Structures are given as structure tokens and as C-alpha cells.
């Protein structure tokens, strides 16, 4: 298998693995650490991925199985689009890294661009790397409002 790559923050979320880039940026949003311009940028990038990357079915129930997605090799056209989000993380002092693996876990989903896996091991959840608590997760409504105001 692989190699596969995953871009993630340096802290562990509820799935027992370091949180992915989108979750890490959303945590910044939910704790009030993003400017309006950064929120708009996040919404536009998220919209592009929603339009161009299949949503694995395990997300339909909130990911009760705790699966994690990894990009396949040769998806630079997609992973390059993560750069603005990685820049936001860096600007806000949130450590991130790119991990490469030939065997990221037991595959439960796959498509042309990604695999969804059950990790072979899990870690204890760690606190956010900055003070604060997460506000409501109202991203869908916020995203829709932003996109309706930023149509090309």
C-alpha cells in the first residue's frame, strides 16, 4: 500500500490521532482566533474540497468508527490547496506536520484521491495548544452564509 500522506496538527483529538488540518483550523475559528478574512479563506478552501473530494460515508454519522483520511500519492493538486490553511496554523502558532506512511491502518474506504483507515493505535486526547474552549460547531451555517456573499 501507499505511500499515503496526511497533514495534521501537533495535538490529538477525539479519534486518538493528531487532528487534521481542517479540524485544527476549525478549532481556531471556534475559539475566536481567526480574523474574518481567515474565516472567509477557510470557507472558500473547504467549499473547494467539498466540491472536488468525495466525502467518505463514515462521516455521515459523525465518524462513530473513528476513521482518519489520508491522501494518496500523486494528489499534489489537492494537497497544494491546503497551503493557505497550513499558513494560518503557522501564523497562529499551531504546530503541524506532514506524515507519510505505507500502512496508515486498516482501510475502510478508498477512492481515487484518498483512503479512510482505522488507525492501528490510538493516543490519549490532548488539550488544545492554546488557552480556551471550543464554541459551538456551527460551521455548515457559517460556511453557507460566507459562500452566499462571496460568489464569483
Confidence (pTM): 0.91
DSSP code per residue over 79-94 = HGGGHHHHHHHHHTT-
Categorize the per-residue pLDDT at 151 as very low, low, confident or very high, splitting at 50, 70 and 90: low
pLDDT digit string (tens) for 84-137?
999 999 999 999 999 999 999 999 999 999 999 999 999 999 999 998 888 778
The boundaries of the domain holding residue 119 are 4-149
pLDDT digit string (tens) for 48-90?
999 999 999 999 998 999 999 999 988 999 999 999 999 999 9
Query: Which triple of cell numbers denotes residue 50?
Result: 467539498
Q: What's the total number of domains in the chain? A: 1
- Contact (Cβ atoms closer than 8 angstroms) between residue 70 and residue 106: no
For residues 40 and 6, give the distance between their C-alpha atoms in angstroms, rounded to a whole number.
Answer: 24
Q: In terms of C-beta distances under 8 Å and separation of at least 24 residues, what long-range contacts does 144-149 make, across chains too? A: 146/39, 146/40, 146/43, 146/44, 147/43, 147/44, 147/47
Q: Is 113 helix (H, G, I), strand (E, B) or coil?
A: coil
Which letter does DSSP use for residue 81 in this model? G
Amino acid at each position: 500500500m501507499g505511500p499515503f500522506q496526511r497533514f495534521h496538527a501537533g495535538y490529538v483529538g477525539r479519534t486518538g490521532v493528531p487532528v487534521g488540518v481542517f479540524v485544527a483550523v476549525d478549532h481556531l475559528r471556534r475559539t475566536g482566533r481567526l480574523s474574518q478574512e481567515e474565516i472567509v479563506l477557510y470557507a472558500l478552501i473547504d467549499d473547494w474540497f467539498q466540491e472536488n473530494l468525495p466525502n467518505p460515508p463514515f462521516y455521515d454519522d459523525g465518524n462513530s468508527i473513528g476513521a482518519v483520511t489520508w491522501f494518496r500519492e500523486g494528489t499534489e493538486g489537492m494537497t497544494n490547496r491546503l497551503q493557505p490553511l497550513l499558513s494560518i496554523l503557522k501564523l497562529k502558532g499551531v504546530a503541524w506536520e506532514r506524515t507519510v506512511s505505507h500502512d496508515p491502518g486498516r482501510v475502510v474506504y478508498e477512492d481515487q484521491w484518498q483512503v479512510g483507515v482505522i488507525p492501528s493505535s490510538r493516543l490519549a486526547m490532548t488539550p488544545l495548544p492554546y488557552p480556551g474552549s471550543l464554541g459551538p460547531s456551527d460551521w455548515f451555517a457559517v460556511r453557507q452564509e460566507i459562500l452566499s456573499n462571496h460568489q464569483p
